[in-house]
Structure 1
């Protein structure tokens, strides 16, 4: 009996191994920066997990800094003809400069998606790559859910897909989540899960504002859809989002607010964490100079670091000069203003090993832009934060950092040396911030499965079961009036009003009858 059971276990393992070995996964990455890094990490984890991974990569200047290591998976690069590429590069640089100078609003976001839609149209016109992707017969496509173009590529390939959301779950459309506006803040609201009456009013109104803005963003792809899909078979983007078998979210409840999730939503916060390596000796020598005071790590993300203004650099440098800690700052020499003298306790470098420095025993504080990947790394190593959010999800991430008491946020528009110095000193000296950061670290690391195990395990699950139909609630197929029980409400309201009307009529008739009877008796 034991031998038979062991044979069954071995047979099951071999069957799973064969299934995984035969499974071909396509990952799509057309966005740069943190999006590129996230999708590269996801591709690597899936490849290491036994899957046959191919990554579709849009190759342009901005991805060059992140492609120094040779990937373990196959990469299909695509780019535009040189004349077209120059036009798109110019548009891209203008958008990045607009972001870097703090001009990020809904209007800018719409322009970004219009740019992506035009680029998407160019890609869908490259017949040889589209044919190559079709002929590969992928079993599954994993895409960055912020990259709307991926949905159209997947629709063309007619493949099952899995979404990877590199931001907070609140960014998902509310049709994809069991959201309650009474305690789940709308994306961009700046609210926490503990709202007073006026907070709930604000959240309720912003829900409709967010929904309208989402529709405007999706409408930027209408021309691309009309150009590349035949009339009568043109997809609706909001419906395509619902086709995803699974939603992986690059967060967890060490950072996010507790909320109900559908079974096909899986949190994988910390997925980008890598094994810690010893830091270079020159950095170790710099840190040693400051003894028990320790050091502060400053990293404001790739886009922000390229477009920091002279005023911001001057104020930050002046703030760092007032502290006893050493400061390691990711800032390129070419961007440093010549008229600003570098503070004696500050060392600037083009690139710093962020993960390794966050794990260093003498780190006291992380000054960050509040990007999801950076916040996740700080949580992984229990480091308190001072956030200087610039755009997109960064303010929302810092709202959660503050709510969890892991750090403090400073508005870019009001950034001054004295305020920044006092804030950093407060977070370093007040032990509550360090304690909260360590508590979040324990929550993150004590999960029974690692983020990589969750990612590969769930992919394996839907490959073996032929999809995730058993995980999707019927609500995905319901029209909105059914989902929110408006038809039931109107029926019950009508029934109640009809009953009241009938009751009034009956009472009126009875009253008239009794009144008539009295008159007869009196006569």
Structure 2
């Protein structure tokens, strides 16, 4: 008879716990552009679970809208728009890069371009840091944020100004991350031996020759230099201004409670990791939905040949017409239908089998049974969607991490990679025919797809669980190493090596002196016999 009350109490406790979990408050600092697509999915998931989400955006945000049902926006007006929020920023960047490659990549032109890129990088972080200045200087706003009593701050640390606001509010932080100020996120929080971990910016696998290891180590040094002397000083000045000289921005960055890493080791090369890194690679992937009727009719008209999908992301309109015309001429010779996301000038030589669209349902097309191959620039979202649906890739990387991404598929036999500046009708046609007609590429991608899907829970659910974990437990300090607080000579134990070396030398000297002393005492007493 006494079991029922106990059960009731248990149910009430469970309901109370669920109410606590599902009434949390999350403050979000996103990065605009393609990064926002990922962050928005997590925000939608949090909203669906009953959490209140506030998104910090700038008045000039490209993708982050002000009025949306699943979050409340906090709009910050800056003196100057952040460069990456300008639609033509990446297009201009791409055109310059392609021009240098096309001219043969002379050292002087490359150095000039790299110097200009460093200047642009510093300017972007200076512009982004003003979000922190505007917020920290607005005492009324900061008090309002304190009174709201947020449970956690969710940050995309590509532009890490949210770290400063989270520190001021004394809140635990969760990173939605792959890229950070110094490149790939692992390099900030986990051991990264350059002997087998490719450095950001190096198109290398984890099996490197001696010369490749030299290049990889030098690139790691360059990345560290850029982070220390180009990026971090922008935020260090703010840290000193608002929190004093005893704090270090880089240490604040490393102190995040949980790192939601947009990586899956089906795609990434194996490497050391840490307890507070949670892997959510491919969390944006989902089963395909039916296509719009007109698009479905076009796909069905391909018959047994199927169709090829091509999308180069938001940068496609930056490709010169002479390159797109070579691609179009190659497509025209194929028996397959082609659906091409293209927003630029209409290419020459376009065949009747090719449909140009300014927008297309990429995930739904990749999941269609008639698809044969995916021509992609190597953006992370598209790569994971192609893995999820088992579609082999023809990689045409353009910028940033894209060459590294398509290399990982090529190493696994699921892609062919082309240099965009050297594409001809013949080379492109040959690559497409190989991927479409040789079963090895599709079979390898199907194997990756099976591995990617074989997990205990969907990676989006994993991400939401760990955000709520931090909310419930007011952080995750027990999973975070304190090694980032150690000086470099202690971390790499140079001081221990020096001490042990000195001790060995001291013992050696003592041993030699002792032996010499004993020898002198023993043999010094023996006098030569006189005749």
Q: Normalised by the size of structure 2, how large is the TM-score? A: 0.87
| Mapped pair 1:212 → 2:212 | no
1:479 corresponds to 2:471: no
What is the match of residue 76 of structure 1?
74
Shift of 1:364: 0.7
Q: Look up the match of 2:191.
A: 178
Q: How does 1:276-355 map to 2 (within 5 A)?
A: 276-302=288-314, 304-332=315-343, 335-337=344-346, 340-355=348-363
What is the Cα deviation at residue 210 of structure 1? 2.0
1:60 maps to 60
- Range 133-142 or range 173-182, more displaced: 173-182
Which of 415, 421, 430 aligns to 2:423? It is 415
Rounded Cα–Cα distance in structure 2 between residues aligned with 1:258 and 1:35: 24
Tell me whether 511-520 or 429-438 shows the greater mean CA deviation. 511-520
- Runs of 4+ displaced beyond 6 Å: none
Q: 1:317 to 1:510 in 2, by over 3 A?
A: same
User: What is the CA distance between 1:382 and its match in structure 2?
Assistant: 0.8
Q: How far, CA to CA, are the matches of 1:522 and 1:72 in structure 2?
A: 110
Kindly tell me: are residues 2 and 190 of structure 1, through their superposed partners in 2, closer, same or farther at Cα, counting changes over 3 Å?
Answer: farther
Q: Find the residue that maps to 2:62 and give its secondary structure.
A: helix
Distance 1:68 1:305, change over 3 A: farther
Q: Does 1:10 align with 2:18?
A: no
Q: For the Cα contact (< 8 Å) 2:288–2:368, is it kept in 1?
A: no
Shift of 1:216: 2.9
Distance 1:122 1:167, change over 3 A: closer
**Aligned 1:156-305 pairs, distance under 5 A:** 156-167=168-179, 171-172=184-185, 174-219=187-232, 221-222=234-235, 225=238, 229-230=241-242, 232=244, 235-302=247-314, 304-305=315-316
**Matched pairs, number:** 511
User: Hey, what's the Cα distance between the residues in 2 that align with 1:314 and 1:143?
Assistant: 41
User: After alignment, is 366-375 or 273-282 more displaced?
Assistant: 273-282
Corresponding residue SS for 2:161 = helix
1:413 Cα deviation after fit: 2.5
Q: Distance in 1 between matches of 2:447 and 2:286?
A: 20
Give per-residue Cα distances to partners, 1:173-218, cap 9 Å, x unaligned: 6341032333222222222122233333333333222211221332
1:454 aligns with 2:462: yes
1:118 and 1:224 in contact (8 A); partners too: no
Matched residues in 1 for 2:491 and 2:365: separation?
Answer: 48
Q: Which residue of 1 aligns with 2:105?
A: none
- Deviation per CA, 1:431-461, whole angstroms, max 9, x where unpaired? 1211121111111211001112211111222
Counterpart Cα distance in 2 of 1:396 and 1:240: 28
- Separation in structure 1 between the aligned mates of residue 210 and residue 73 of structure 2, nearest angstrom: 52
What are the Cα deviations for residues 393-433 of structure 1, in whole angstroms up to 9, with x where unaligned?
Answer: 11121121112222122122222222111111111222121
Aligned in 2, Cα 1:224/1:330: closer, same or farther, shift over 3 Å? farther
How far apart in 2 are the matches of 1:69 and 1:402?
A: 42
Given that 2:377 and 2:397 are in contact with CA atoms closer than 8 Å, whether structure 1 keeps it comes out as yes
- Aligned ranges 1:342-491 → 2 under 5 Å: 342-491=350-499
Paired residues of 1:167 and 1:372 also in contact (CA < 8 A): no
How far apart, in 1, do the equivalents of 2:210 and 2:13 lie? 55
Say yes or no: does 1:95 pair with 2:89.
Answer: yes
SS at match of 1:27: strand
User: Cα gap change, 1:123/1:473 in structure 2, threshold over 3 Å: closer, same or farther?
Assistant: closer
Name the stretch that deviates more: 415-424 or 506-515. 506-515
What are structure 2's unaligned runs of at least 5 residues?
A: 98-112
What's the offset of the Cα at 1:70?
Answer: 4.3
Please identify, of 246-255 and 474-483, the stretch whose mean Cα deviation from structure 2 is larger.
474-483
Match of 2:23 in 1: 22
Q: Is the 8 A contact 1:383 1:437 kept in 2?
A: yes
Shifted more, 34-43 versus 477-486: the winner is 477-486
* Aligned 8 A contact 1:225 1:235 in 2: no
Output the CA distance in 1 between the equivalents of 2:85 and 2:176: 27
Q: Is the 8 A contact 2:374 2:391 kept in 1?
A: yes
Do the aligned partners of 2:128 and 2:159 also contact (CA within 8 Å) in 1?
no
| Counterpart-to-counterpart distance in 2, 1:498 and 1:522 | 42
Question: What SS does the corresponding residue of 1:210 show, helix, strand or coil?
Answer: helix
TM-superposed deviation, 1:492? 1.3
